């Protein structure tokens, strides 16, 4: 049997991580891997997470399974964080998942179960694992234009033109905030236009929100997701706690299925629980319990939100510093988009050849499509990166 296996395509980001580890240079800079790092290059455990874990350690009396959907208190807390009061709780079915990736996988499984003929329209570019999972599941994908390599902003006219080709029942996969890999986001007027198109053409919205709090703040970053959820007939939301709670290795996510008809929620909930059972049975609980402890305790929540805000402002500061340094070196504002982007990533819009030169000549590692992790920088490395970008002629 095993002789029939074939090599699978290498994950480009994982391969880049290995190349970085193997590089003996001491002045190398890692802008590839998608994790937040502080100025010392550490992905820290947040204060509120440590405090919540201490409480759980002291009070938890069992490691027995939770339900198939996970702890209901976790779902309630996350729904409140993401949706606020934009949608009635009775219209939302939700299950805990192994990270945001697990939430996306379960959403795609739900699409395939509910409408095998559905196509999923995916932004060009998008997070590579979206495409990988959809391909593995045999779900047809259709790219829609998103990133304008000239302006480094959103090609909104192209996006709308492409989405108009979707058929009733097709799914539109959207990034709730801090678009990965580009950092370029829709504005409020553009979001409303997308919602109008979805409703007019009978499409289904799916939102992947993995960076709430990393862009313009917890509430501001949730606005688009809340608007979509409140405005369409039905939608799915895949959420991750990896970034904003820093619990990467705990694999903590949530999938929501929202219907304007509250009578549909029971069947939606049953189906999501069924899919959990088929894929991994009971979801992991530790990270979810930590998140619940934080979100349901006023003091812990306030401390978490304050630390998250410092993280956000730190990344905005790095963006501005890099844009300013590039303007100083070039005498041009053509890199101003870096300060305008939001989240951990920016796609600087250059060729794979120049990205390769950044790596070989300067020890700067970023993904071949020129996505760089802003959180991989600090005050020392910003001018080094800026000079390298100018040296290779980006």
The beta strand positions in 287-383, using DSSP E, are 345-347, 364-365, 371-373
Beta bridge partners of 150: none
The yes-or-no answer on residue 243 being catalytic is yes
**Is the distance from CB of 296 to CB of 80 less than 8 angstroms?**
no
Q: Is 348 helix (H, G, I), strand (E, B) or coil?
A: coil
Rounded to an integer, what distance in angstroms lies between the CA atom of residue 272 and that of residue 264?
A: 12
In sequence order, what are the residues at sequence separation of 6 or more whose Cβ sits closer than 8 angstroms to the Cβ of residue 63?
Answer: none
Q: In the chain, how long is the greatest CA-to-CA distance? A: 63
Closest residue by Cα to residue 162 from 147, 150, 176: 147
In sequence order, what are the residues at sequence separation of 6 or more whose Cβ sits closer than 8 angstroms to the Cβ of residue 373?
Answer: 30, 31, 32, 33, 34, 35, 344, 345, 366
Catalytic residue (choose from 210, 222, 224, 239): 210
Q: Is 78 helix (H, G, I), strand (E, B) or coil?
A: helix
DSSP tally for the chain: helices H, then strands E? 14, 13
**Is the distance from CB of 337 to CB of 151 less than 8 angstroms?**
yes
Catalytic residue (choose from 30, 75, 107, 127): 127
Burial class (CB in 10 A: 0-12, 13-18, 19+), 344: buried
The yes-or-no answer on residue 12 being catalytic is no
- Straight-line distance from the first to the last Cα atom of the chain, in angstroms, rounded to the nearest whole number: 48
Strands 234-240 and 147-148: unpaired
Catalytic residue (choose from 30, 148, 170, 208): 208
Rounded to an integer, what distance in angstroms lies between the CA atom of residue 202 and that of residue 171?
A: 9
Burial class (CB in 10 A: 0-12, 13-18, 19+), 287: buried
Catalytic residue (choose from 170, 205, 224, 243): 243
Residue bearing tokens 């807390």 = 77
Closest residue by Cα to residue 241 from 272, 303, 275, 284: 284
What are the Cα distances from residue 186, in Å, to 195, 209, 213?
12, 14, 16
The yes-or-no answer on residue 170 being catalytic is no
List, by residue number, the catalytic residues: 127, 208, 210, 243
């Amino acid at each position: 049997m095993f002789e029939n296996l074939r090599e699978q395509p290498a994950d480009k980001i994982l391969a880049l991580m290995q190349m970085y580890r193997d590089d003996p240079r001491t002045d190398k800079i890692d802008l590839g891997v998608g994790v937040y790092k502080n100025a010392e290059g550490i992905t820290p455990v947040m204060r509120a997470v440590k405090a919540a874990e201490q409480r759980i350690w002291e009070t938890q009396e069992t490691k027995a399974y939770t339900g198939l959907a996970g702890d209901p208190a976790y779902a309630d807390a996350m729904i409140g964080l993401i949706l606020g009061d934009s949608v009635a709780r009775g219209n939302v079915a939700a299950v805990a998942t192994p990270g945001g990736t697990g939430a996306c996988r379960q959403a795609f499984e739900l699409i395939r179960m509910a409408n095998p003929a559905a196509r999923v329209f995916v932004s060009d570019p998008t997070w590579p694992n979206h495409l990988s999972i959809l391909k593995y599941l045999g779900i047809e994908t259709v790219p829609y234009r998103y990133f304008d390599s000239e302006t480094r902003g959103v090609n909104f006219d192209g996006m709308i033109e492409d989405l108009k080709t979707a058929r009733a029942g097709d799914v539109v996969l959207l990034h709730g905030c801090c678009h990965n890999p580009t950092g370029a986001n829709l504005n409020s007027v553009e979001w409303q236009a997308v919602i109008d198109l979805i409703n007019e053409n009978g499409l289904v919205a799916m939102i992947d929100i993995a960076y709430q709090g990393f862009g313009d703040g917890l509430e501001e970053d949730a606005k688009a997701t809340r608007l979509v959820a409140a405005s369409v007939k039905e939608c799915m939301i895949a959420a991750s706690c990896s970034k904003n709670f820093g619990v990467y290795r705990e694999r903590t996510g949530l999938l929501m299925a929202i219907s304007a008809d509250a009578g549909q929620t029971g069947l939606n909930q049953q189906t999501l629980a069924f899919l959990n059972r088929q894929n991994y049975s009971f979801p992991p609980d530790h990270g979810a319990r930590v998140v619940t402890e934080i979100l349901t305790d006023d003091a812990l929540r306030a401390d978490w939100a304050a630390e998250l805000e410092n993280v956000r402002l730190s990344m905005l500061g790095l963006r501005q510093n890099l844009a300013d340094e590039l303007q100083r070196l070039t005498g041009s504002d053509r890199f101003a988009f870096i300060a305008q982007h939001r989240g951990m990533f920016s796609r600087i819009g250059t060729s794979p050849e120049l990205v390769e030169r950044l790596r070989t000549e300067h020890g700067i590692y970023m993904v071949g499509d020129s996505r760089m992790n802003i959180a991989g920088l600090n005050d020392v490395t910003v001018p080094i990166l800026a000079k390298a970008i100018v040296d290779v002629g980006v």
